[in-house]
Structure 1
Amino acid sequence: MPATPAWPPRSAPRLFLPGPLASGASVSVAGNQAHYLAKVMRVSEGDAVVLCDDATGEWAARVLSAGKREVVLDPVERLRPREEVPDFWLCPALLKKDRFDLVLEKATELGVRAIRPVVTRRCVADKLNLDRACAHVVEAAEQCARTALPHVDAPVSLDALLRDWPAGRALFFADELGGKPAATAFAAHAGPAAIVTGPEGGFDDAERDAIRAHPAAIPVSLGPRILRGETAAIAATALWMGAAGDW
């Protein structure tokens, strides 16, 4: 007797939708998401789609109808609740668009809770299209099967970041001039944390002094080599997640 195929199949398309989702409460998808389902994935009535809403978790849904401009879906079964993620913020200096897109994508895949972009004196870019950044994060979350979206903030100056830093959250500082070995420092810390990483040209002396003078700051080293801005942000996040047990 042949085995019953898994449902939903692993190949089912994934989408984040505004929530909350609930069993039997059909939802309509329009615009680019409808085009993706109907034209790219070619779903039809009865096919499976996996839905997430960043609130209730992950759902298996059936396609009720698939038109050119609208796809109607019926959430049938909740597959898993919204995941718990470590309380870790990535505070990367803004980079050129393609490089910062990579930071957004990989930080999402690695499981950060929030991304708080920072503008420093040597940043090549000083603006961020927040809608585009959020859409990029959603796409990354869909591809890596996250059920929780990281919050993406509008960029702030380094001065503002330091001035408004919340009490009780460690501020690790990826300082190219050196500090404690990052893996050792991360493993020794328990509780809410964040790391600030620099732009293409690094931090200037005044910025470095300001960060080091902050009471929450813990300067760390990411190794003997000078890393590009996007590499530093991604490597630091991976190290922290490993130390936190998220891997």
Structure 2
Amino acid sequence: MRANFRMQRLFIDTPLSAGRALEATSDHFNYLVNVLRMTEGDEVLVFNGHDGEWRARLLLPTRKKLLLQPIEQTRPQSPLPDLHYLFAPLKVGRLDYLVQKAVEMGAGLLQPVMTQHVQGKITSLERLQANVVEAAEQCGVLAVPQVTAPVKLKDLLDTWPADRRIIFCDEGEESQNPLPILNEIKERKLALLIGPEGGFSEEERTLLRSLAFVTAIPLGPRILRADTAAVAALALVQATIGDWR
């Protein structure tokens, strides 16, 4: 069932069921009542990542209290996509963009990875999760991915499950065409690894290429910024061996 983009969508971190009125947070109150100028009886769409999407009516029992009353489920809950997105942190503005686009492109889990040439850092997982929620609200996503704590690349690889293939974008790959390589991948459990703005070190490239569960792909003849490479690689994976098929 297609998402309804004509109605305002809100992520609500509480169970949803028909008729059970929920008290809105102060942020939601301010946004709906003060910013959007919504009034008693207006309707929004709410979701929590577990109970599907619901049409909810606004109730204003007092001037400073807002209730959201779910009326009917408009879409059933969908499962999280099974694509893991592994990324070296970028500088703050571009990192926010990267996280939002990963959600839009169907990542089911976001894992920051600390590499030797990484230039950014994770100062707040809450900020990144807020970007995930915002992207989900805007793009009709029901299953909300989680952002996990940063981990060093070697530690990640040392404990990686052999049944999930990692695809990593290697600027040193001799070929310029990733399609033949991707079309040879048979596994359905996948992860995509995007390096930092400075690229992977030679030591990291050697390590990655030595592992049986890792596949290197190029991203064409042009040099791409890390955030651009992330979107390009996600599109390639989804179109060839992901959920666009």
The TM-score with structure 2 as length reference comes to 0.91
> Map of 1:57-136 to 2, 5 A cutoff?
57-65=52-60, 69-136=64-131
Change (3 A) 1:11 1:178: same
Residues 91, 119 of structure 2: 8 Å contact kept = yes
Equivalent-residue separation in structure 2 for 1:45 and 1:128 (angstroms): 39
Distance 1:66 1:120, change over 3 A: farther
- Kept in 2, the 8 Å contact 1:113–1:150? The answer is yes
Aligned length: 240
* TM-superposed deviation, 1:66: 7.0
Matched, 1:193 2:182: no
User: Any conservation in 2 of the 1:128–1:154 contact (CA below 8 Å)?
Assistant: no
Aligned match of 1:183: 179
Change (3 A) 1:159 1:29: same
Q: Stretches of 4+ moved more than 4 A in 1?
A: 66-69
Which residue of the partner structure matches residue 42 of structure 2? 47
Instruction: Check whether the contact 1:179–1:219 (CA below 8 A) recurs between aligned residues.
Output: no
Q: 1:151-191, CA deviations, whole angstroms, 9 ceiling, x for partnerless residues? A: 11111111111112123100111100116743333343341
Post-superposition Cα deviations, 1:62-115, rounded to whole Å, max 9, x if no partner, equal 112276643201101111112235311111111111111111011111111011
Report what 1:4 is aligned to: none
Quick one: structure 1 residues 40 and 66, their matched pair in 2 at CA, closer, same or farther if it must change by over 3 Å?
farther
Q: Aligned residue for 1:218? A: 215
Cα offset, 1:126, TM superposition: 2.9
8 Å CA contact 1:175–1:221 kept in 2: the answer is: yes
- Which amino acid counterpart does residue 244 of structure 2 have in structure 1? D
Aligned match of 1:229: 226
Deviation at 1:33, TM superposition (A): 1.7
- Given that 1:35 and 1:69 are in contact with CA atoms closer than 8 Å, whether structure 2 keeps it comes out as no
Task: Determine which of 216, 235, 238 is the counterpart of 1:238.
Answer: 235
Secondary structure class of the residue paired with 2:24: strand
RMSD: 1.9
Structure 1-normalised TM-score?
0.90
Q: Which structure 1 segments of 5+ residues have no match?
A: 1-7
Q: Identity rate of aligned residues, in percent?
A: 38
How far apart, CA to CA, are the structure 1 residues paired with 2:63 and 2:151?
41
Whole-angstrom CA distance in 1 between matches of 2:174 and 2:133 = 34
Q: Please, which moves more after superposition, 86-95 or 63-72?
A: 63-72
Letter in structure 2 aligned against 1:197: I
Q: Would the aligned equivalents of 1:170 and 1:218 in 2 still touch at CA under 8 Å?
A: yes
Q: CA deviation at 1:10?
A: 4.5
Distance of 2:116 and 2:27 partners within structure 1: 37
Contact 2:4 2:140 in 1 (8 A): no
Letter in 2 for 1:246: W
